[in-house]
Amino acid sequence: MVVKLILRDKVYEVKPGMALLDALRKINVVPESVIAVRNGEMITDDEILRPGDEVKLVAVISGGNDNW
């Protein structure tokens, strides 16, 4: 059984047992660019992915001028 990481309309499959951070690096996603959600709850980079997990990756949008 695999872990599915879903970013927009793309589905990536990785092996269970690895930390989310390692899985993101494996699929070439910058960890700071997404928020990971599993079963409706945000998970952290050190979360270990379990067999059958489906993790939705929500792109973080930033921009504008911080110099007010």
Structure tokens at 20: 């989310």
**Does 65 map to a domain?**
no
Q: What is the pTM of this model?
A: 0.86
- Structure confidence at residue 63 (pLDDT): 63
Q: How many domains are contained in the chain?
A: 1
**Helix locations, the chain, DSSP H:** 20-26
User: For the domain that residue 22 is a member of, what is the CATH number?
Assistant: 3.10.20.30
- Look up the domain containing 48 and give its range: 3-59
**Does 66 map to a domain?**
no
> Which residues share a beta bridge with 34?
59
For 15-68, write each residue's pLDDT tens digit.
999 999 999 999 999 999 999 999 999 999 999 999 999 999 999 976 666 555
**Does 40 map to a domain?**
yes
Place of tokens 């910058």: 30
**Does 67 map to a domain?**
no
The two beta strands, 10-14 and 3-7, are antiparallel
**Does 15 map to a domain?**
yes
